[in-house]
Structure 1
Amino acid sequence: MANLCCHFSFLLFSLLCFHFTLCFTNFTAYDELALLALKFSVKDPYNYLANWSNSSSICNWVGVMCDGHHEKVIALNLGEMGLKGTLPSKIGNLSFLVELDLHGNNLYGELPKELIQLHKLEILNLSYNEFKGEIPTWIGSLFMQLSGRLPPTISNLSSLELLSLSRNFLTGDIPIEIGLLQNLKFLYLGANKLSGHIPSNIFNISELQEIDLSWNNLSGSIHSNMCHGLPNLQMLHLQENELSGALPSNWIQCKELKDLQLEYNSLIGDIPEGIGELDMLQELYLNHNNLQGHLPKDIGNLTKLQLLYLNYNNLEGHIPKDIGNLAELQLLYLSDNNLKGDIPEGIGKLDMLQELCLDHNNLQGNFCRQV
């Protein structure tokens, strides 16, 4: 059939990150306090920092750039603003900061030792200021990438709530001792070189809200009863691994799940009917696997879904007409499968839809888009 990959020019992405703001409210508050501490520790003769107040989001403040996913500060660019004063210790609380540019100001004093806490920092520009003292020996540790294996003794950190070691060169298995961290809420080990199976006891950490193990070399199957021990799970990223086997069939206990990304693996079998029970789901990525069978009829129950990627599988049968119920859907990718039959008319009534890809199937018929 003709290529049906369509692009609609609707700029409606502002809704995509709202749920992450809720998840990270407490952590974002740390960023706000750190930035306000900086504002109060310097003189701002040209009022560049005038909009730095809690009446607006920190992501709208002058010189501040946030990660659109979590609304955490990732860059602070205050160069050549005429700022005069010292750096507060609280600047070390900007835990997601990748770039810090303070060049061309009148900052003075010693660099706070808390800068060592900025583990993600890649760019640091403090030139043309009046800092004094020697360059701290520890500053070199900000630009090192971690290598080696995760130690089993990590279980000693029994109060740990956030473990973020993404984008390093960690190798070997994920130690089963991580499953003993029963207070853990956020686990980020993506973009490493980890291998082996995902320890099943990770799926018993009931406090976990977000898991990112993507972009590794993990193998084996996904724990079949995964949701039973993860009632608070909101994000699961396992994409770009070597996972195989079938998708878990029981999803009803993952009622808080909003973001599920399993693409670029070797998953097989049907998409289970129970996927429609994830009524909070906003993003679903199952593309580039070996899934087969029919699209589940209850996929139309995912009324909050915004992104749906099922392309590059072996799916067959008809597109369920209930897909027209997905009123908030923005991207729909079903290309490169074995789907057949008529294109449901309801697709043309999806007012939020921006991109539609149905090519490389055996579909037929027309649909009209009402403007």
Structure 2
Amino acid sequence: MAPRVALLAGGAVVLLLAAVAARASNDEGDALYALRARLSDPNRALRSWNPNVVNPCTWLHVTCDHANRVVRLDLGNSNFSGSIGPELGRLVNLQYLELYMNNLGGEIPKELGNLKNLISLDLYDNKLTGSIPKSLSKLNSLRFMRLNNNKLAGSIPRELAKLSNLRIIDLSNNDLCGTIPVDGPFSTFPLRSFENNSRLNGPELQGLVPYDFGC
């Protein structure tokens, strides 16, 4: 009887894991379809994003890992317009978010700070407005942040200096103001990463309280 009990128990575990994976796929699919609803898609790049398909891993431009969790979203240079929306914050396994070179407007959702596994955030060459969310400082795995060539305003959040794994940042060609942080990874970033922000006043001075000139 013991082998049979062990076999039944093993089967139950497999079924439980499958159910958990299915729920995760459904939630991720719902989040992605909510993004699709926000976008104008003249080139029909998202034609395969069918809400009746349980697993979004079969959709174009979506990459999943071995457990059918969405880890990459490749939607760069696709002629999208619309907004990003907070739903993407539910893709907690996402590692690469590629939305560059579109016509996306609106603000960067603060919910993107929930993407704790994110390695690359590429939103450059859009029409994004508002400020850079302080919540992005929670992305401890982040190595690449490219927000250049948008219409972002406000100061650079000093909380971003906590991102010890950040290797590349590009905030150029926006409307940022104040001063550039100098702590943490910011001590290594070249000034060209911040150029063409007419109200940005260069690096803040060591030992002085940061002052946001013109913000």
**Percent identity, aligned pairs only?**
29
Asked if 1:238 corresponds to 2:147, the answer is yes
User: Hey, what's the Cα distance between the residues in 2 that align with 1:278 and 1:266?
Assistant: 22
> Which residue of 89, 96, 114 maps to 1:186?
96
2: CA distance, partners of 1:177 / 1:259: 26
For each residue in 1:263-283, what CA deviation from the matched residue of structure 2 results, as whole angstroms up to 9, or x when unmatched? 1111111223xx331178455
1:33-69, CA deviations, whole angstroms, 9 ceiling, x for partnerless residues?
Answer: xxxxxxxxxxxxxxxxxxxxxxxxxxxxxxxxxxxxx
CA distance in 1, matches of 2:203, 2:162: 21
Which letter maps to 1:296? Answer: E
State how far apart, in whole Å, the 2-side matches of 1:188 and 1:217 are: 15
Residues 10-89 of structure 1: matches in 2 within 5 Å? none
Does 2:111 align with 1:201?
yes
Instruction: Let me know the Cα RMSD of the aligned residues.
Output: 3.1
Q: Which residue of 1 aligns with 2:199?
A: 291
Distance 1:279 1:215, change over 3 A: closer
Cross-structure match for 2:161: 252
Alpha-carbon separation, structure 2, partners of 1:225 and 1:200 = 6
Q: Which runs of 5 or more residues in structure 2 are unaligned?
A: 1-41, 57-67, 207-212
C-alpha spacing 1:243/1:201, structure 2 compared with 1 (3 Å): same
**Structure-to-structure mapping, 1:211-226, within 5 angstroms:** 211-226=121-136
Q: Does 1:210 align with 2:126?
A: no
Q: What's the offset of the Cα at 1:246? A: 0.9
In structure 1, what is the Cα distance between the partners aligned to 2:173 and 2:114? Answer: 25
Q: Do the aligned partners of residues 243 and 146 (structure 1) sit closer, same or farther apart at CA in structure 2, a change above 3 Å counting?
A: farther
TM-score of the aligned structures, taking structure 2 as reference length? 0.61
**Which range moves more in the overlay, 208-217 or 251-260?**
251-260
Q: Secondary structure at the match of 1:267?
A: strand
- Unmatched runs of 5 consecutive residues or more in structure 1: 1-143, 299-313, 316-371
Higher-strand-fraction structure? 1
Aligned residues: 152
1:251 positional shift: 2.7
The 3-state SS of whatever aligns with 1:169 is coil
Aligned-pair CA distance for 1:250? 1.8
Structure 1 residues 165 and 225 mapped into 2: Cα distance closer, same or farther (>3 Å)? closer
Aligned residue in 2 for 1:276: 183
> How far off its partner does 1:293 sit?
3.9
8 Å Cα contact 1:259/1:281 also seen in 2: no
- Structure 2 residue aligned with 1:133: none
Matches within 5 A, 1:109-128: none
Q: Structure 2 vs 1, CA of residues 291 and 205 (structure 1 numbering), >3 Å: closer, same or farther?
A: same
- Secondary structure, aligned partner of 1:256: coil
Looking at structure 2, the residues matched to 279 and 286 of structure 1 have their Cα atoms a distance apart, in angstroms, of 11
- Aligned partner of 2:33 in structure 1 is none
The alpha carbon displacement at 1:148 in A equals 7.9
Deviation at 1:159, TM superposition (A): 1.1
2:130 and 2:154 in contact (8 A); partners too: yes
